[in-house]
């Protein structure tokens, strides 16, 4: 019997069948004999350089061919060899997440309620219009920087990005809820992300505001906080929010919306209060073979696999961590330059210290710290003795000598037996087989957990069991 590992099964303490989320692993769609995919330990993190504080946001600007970050209270530039330069002697107050955008003329960001603009020579704290509150989000569209302070939408002028015309503002009035964020569609529509609704606007060159609401186009789903959204391309967004009638959860948005959260994900969300969930932050990593939506909650990091979910026709989620903490990397940007004279790569800030790291597929450790990985099979009907099982893996690629994984089995989905060690095979031992014999009697159900803790990468397609 062949058992996959991309979505395991467990039984909770309230007698619910629940998904088991692979821990610190990611899935791939790939034909491997009779298998249609495999799991691999998630990419590791290696030190790239050091910033000046906890990371608050970043952007890669194709216009200026530069990678800039707000590191602590310092606006910095990071070069392709890891060099860090402060771009201003001015300190940027606060510790909140910054919102970045860029135009043909500048890179700009919102931080601590203010509008900051860098014209490649000077960082300026631009004076806000009279009547505006603290800015919380921004976007560049059709020559304008658009901002929201939670109550109104504000815009700079076409002639000058540092100027606001008096009384140029608009509301998002489909419903009496606050505006929590702004965004831009692939066809250059402005999106106002409200608490319970999302309003699209088009450019009509209006006298009091250059954009107007599109009639009958509002979506009855909102977001819980400014960072509870991520553009994943092709006109799609992943948001965390909901309507007035139900608790917040994860949705995929196009011209309509569909829930992508599972019962297991919702069960994790239920451990938080709505006040805690306001601080959720969502970002998207798009590579050649993966599209991962990384959702940072206060005590968890949940990852939605866009590509594999589309292939399998059901939501696929993982959980990542950094030991006892949620996954520490934040604000990833893809730097297309030859980083350290090698390939392009993903560069991340850090939520724990001033480290700026690079994603590394060749290791699974995070800055030298080994993290645990884990995956489960579904629970299946057995009804007899299981003679042996084989872990179908890709051996011989671990950089760690005498590496092992730990196997344990369950007869009910609630309790697991003692763990046994199974060697993974040393480097170059490509014919190594991971087999465990005489597993015992399973009169009704059978399930297996695979766990490991190693700096070496590990891939597994599934588990094959043989019964008497």
Domain segments of the chain as ranges = 2-42+372-467, 44-360
Report the mean per-residue pLDDT for the chain.
94
The per-residue pLDDT for range 417-440, each reduced to its tens digit, is 999 999 998 888 889 999 999 999
Residues 452, 39: Cα–Cα separation, whole Å: 13
pLDDT at 17: 86
If pLDDT is split at 50, 70 and 90, which confidence band does 34 have?
confident
| pLDDT at residue number 370 | 95
Nearest to 282 by CA among 345, 348, 330: 330
CATH 2.130.10.10 fits domain 44-360 = yes
Q: What gap in Å lies between CA 108 and CA 129, rounded to an integer?
A: 16
pTM: 0.95
Angle (CA) 459-460-465 rounded to 5° is 160
Superfamily of 2-42+372-467 according to CATH: Galactose-binding domain-like (2.60.120.260)
**Cα 192 to Cα 42, 165, 226, 388, distances in angstroms:** 34, 20, 11, 57
What pLDDT score does 322 carry?
A: 98
**How confident is the model over 63-110, as pLDDT tens digits?**
999 999 999 999 999 999 999 999 999 999 999 999 999 999 999 999
Pick from 298, 297, 293: nearest CA to 316: 293
pLDDT at 30 over 80: yes
């Amino acid at each position: 019997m062949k058992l996959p590992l991309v979505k395991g099964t467990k039984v909770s303490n309230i007698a619910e069948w629940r998904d088991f989320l692979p821990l610190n692993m990611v899935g791939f769609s790939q034909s491997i004999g009779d298998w249609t995919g495999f799991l691999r330990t998630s990419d590791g993190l290696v030190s790239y350089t050091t910033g000046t504080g906890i990371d608050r946001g970043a952007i890669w600007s194709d216009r200026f061919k530069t990678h800039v970050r707000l590191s602590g209270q310092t606006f910095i530039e990071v070069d392709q060899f890891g060099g860090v330069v402060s771009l201003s002697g001015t300190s940027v107050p606060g510790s909140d997440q910054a919102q970045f955008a860029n135009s043909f003329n500048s890179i700009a960001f919102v931080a601590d309620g203010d509008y900051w603009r860098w014209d490649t020579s000077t960082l300026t704290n631009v004076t806000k219009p009279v009547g505006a509150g603290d800015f919380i989000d921004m976007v560049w569209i059709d020559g304008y920087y658009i901002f929201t302070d939670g109550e109104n939408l504000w815009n700079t002028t076409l002639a000058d990005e540092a100027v606001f015309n008096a009384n140029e503002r608009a509301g998002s009035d489909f419903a009496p809820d606050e505006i929590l964020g702004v965004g831009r569609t692939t066809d250059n529509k402005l999106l106002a992300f409200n608490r319970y609704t999302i309003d699209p606007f088009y450019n009509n060159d209006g006298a009091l505001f250059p954009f107007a609401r599109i009639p009958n186009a509002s979506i009855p789903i909102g977001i819980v906080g400014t960072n509870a959204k991520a553009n994943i391309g092709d006109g799609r967004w992943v948001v965390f929010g909901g309507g007035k009638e139900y608790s917040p959860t994860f949705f995929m948005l196009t011209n309509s919306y569909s829930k992508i959260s599972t019962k297991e994900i919702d069960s994790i969300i239920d451990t938080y209060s709505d006040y805690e969930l306001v601080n959720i932050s969502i970002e998207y990593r798009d590579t050649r073979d993966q599209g991962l939506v990384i959702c940072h909650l206060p005590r968890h990091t949940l990852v939605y696999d866009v590509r594999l979910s589309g292939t399998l026709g059901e939501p696929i989620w993982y959980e990542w961590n950094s030991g006892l903490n949620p996954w520490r990397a934040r604000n990833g940007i893809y730097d297309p330059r030859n980083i350290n004279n090698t390939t392009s790569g993903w560069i991340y800030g850090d939520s724990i210290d001033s480290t700026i790291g690079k994603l590394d597929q060749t290791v699974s450790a995070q800055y030298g710290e080994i993290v645990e990985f884990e995956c489960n099979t579904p629970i299946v009907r057995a009804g007899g003795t299981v003679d042996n099982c084989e872990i179908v893996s890709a051996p011989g690629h671990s950089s760690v000598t005498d590496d092992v994984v730990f196997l344990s089995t369950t007869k009910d989905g609630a309790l697991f037996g003692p763990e046994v060690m199974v060697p993974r095979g040393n480097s170059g031992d490509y014919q190594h087989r991971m087999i465990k014999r005489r597993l015992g009697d399973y009169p009704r159900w059978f399930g297996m957990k695979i766990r490991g803790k190693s700096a070496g990468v590990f891939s597994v397609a599934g588990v094959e069991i043989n019964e008497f």
